Amino acid sequence: MRKIKVYAPGTVANLVCGFDILGLALNEPCDIMEVTLLDEPKVIIHNRDEFNLPTDPEKNVAGVVFLSVMEKIGGNTGFEVTIEKHIKPGSGIGSSAASAAGAAVAANHLLGNIFNTDELIQFAMNGEKLASGVKHADNIAPCILGGVSLIRSIHPLDIISIPSPDLHVTVVHPQIEVRTADARQILRKQVLLKDAIRQWGNIAGLVAGLLKNDLDLIGRSLEDVIIEPVRSILIPGFDEVKASCKEAGALGGGISGSGPSIFMLSKNETTARAVEAAMKEVYERLGIAYYTYVTTVNQKGVSVEEITIVNH
């Protein structure tokens, strides 16, 4: 029997201005999955955490990804997985994507790496669809690939990895749950041309800033005139957190994915820690429980470790 351990990192989708098209992988937090190959076509799920996620494979994000891999390959292959989530569901830091991407990479590894990255992203998007009602790859792509991903298109899939400077990332997760499906539901379906122009200027500026290692350009491009004004009302203390983090020296930031987490980019760890203190101060004052991470950009994406090889 062969067992592998998979580490699937948290991710920050959207990167403020790039709704559904930009995302970045984090070194912390990170989900852990132990996966074995079965010689019968079924999926067995165990949870090793307090989140009580469904163990019915059809209702579990990792489960539907394993099922979609099995449908593709046919035969008598199945998977048994123990999931230890450290990325809280509904936190906005890519919890469902970590389960989905982790499952896709694990299955592929156990099957002898028969699928390419685009195929893995396709499998994993089935998990995102279950979680949020819509296929989107801005968490999954950076989770699998590491670094920053640009999702130019999902039909057909066209994903570009963008080299990023060694940025420090501070995340605060106020302990409320925002369901991605709900946070998508409230968005306006139309945008004004003047807002679109401003937004695509920012997206292009952010991508150029990452490529040129121009931190000031990155900072001033972290502006969202379309999604943030609508979604930020779901996040208590959002404006205050943003203002005080900027004062503490953050390059910029905003809602992480669909929230409620807020992330900020900083050029060094000292600033990232000062930003964390600013976030804490706001939520202490508001009396809202929170959790913070001070981390860096994960450059390698989902990683796999062989833990047991027993020959029968």
Instruction: Identify which range of 100-108, 177-185, 197-205, 295-303 contacts ligand HSE by CB under 6 A.
Output: 177-185
Q: What is the CA radius of gyration of the chain?
A: 19
Q: Are strands 168-174 and 262-266 parallel, antiparallel or unpaired?
A: antiparallel
CA distances from 244 to 158, 200, 252, 278, 279 (A): 37, 26, 11, 6, 7
**Residue from the set 138, 224, 228, 276 that interacts with ligand HSE by CB under 6 A:** 138
Q: What phi and psi values does residue 137 have, to the nearest 5 degrees?
A: -115, 10
Which span (158-166, 178-186, 242-250, 274-282) binds ligand HSE, by CB under 6 A?
178-186
Q: Is 27 helix (H, G, I), strand (E, B) or coil?
A: strand
Residue type at 195 in one-letter notation:
D
Query: Is 180 annotated in the active site?
Result: yes
Is 100 or 107 the residue whose CB approaches ligand HSE more closely? Answer: 100
Residue 81 to residue 266: CA distance in whole angstroms? 37
Q: Give the Cα-Cα-Cα angle 196, 145, 123 (nearest 5 degrees).
A: 85
Which residues make Cβ contacts (< 8 Å) with residue 32, sequence separation at least 6? 5, 6, 7, 8, 83, 84, 86
**Stretch binding ligand HSE (CB under 6 A), from 111-119, 134-142, 217-225, 261-269:** 134-142
Which residue of 13, 87, 167, 279 would you call a contact of ligand HSE, by CB under 6 A? 13
Please check whether residue 172 is in contact with residue 279, taking contact to mean a CB–CB distance below 8 angstroms. yes
Query: Is residue 258 at the binding interface for ligand HSE, with CB under 6 A as the rule?
Result: yes
Catalytic residue, from 180, 271, 276, 295: name it: 180
Q: Is 99 in the site for ligand HSE (CB under 6 A)?
A: no
108 near ligand HSE, judged by CB under 6 A: no
- Contact present, 10 and 93 (Cβ < 8 Å): yes
The reply on whether position 136 binds ligand HSE by CB under 6 A is yes
Q: Does 139 bind ligand HSE (CB under 6 A)?
A: yes
User: How far apart are CB 255 and ligand HSE at their closest, in Å?
Assistant: 8
For tokens 């989902």, what's the residue?
302
Choice among 11, 34, 77, 128 that is catalytic? 128
Quote the tokens at residue 86.
Answer: 């450290």
Residues near ligand HSE (CB under 6 A), total: 12
CB of 127 to ligand HSE, least distance (A): 12
261 binds ligand HSE (CB under 6 A): no
User: Is residue 257 at the binding interface for ligand HSE, with CB under 6 A as the rule?
Assistant: yes
Active site residue 34: no
In degrees, rounded to 5, the angle at the alpha carbon of residue 305 between the alpha carbons of residues 302 and 308 is 145
Residues that bind ligand HSE (CB under 6 A): 13-14, 19-20, 136, 138-139, 180, 183-184, 257-258
| Residues with catalytic function | 128, 180
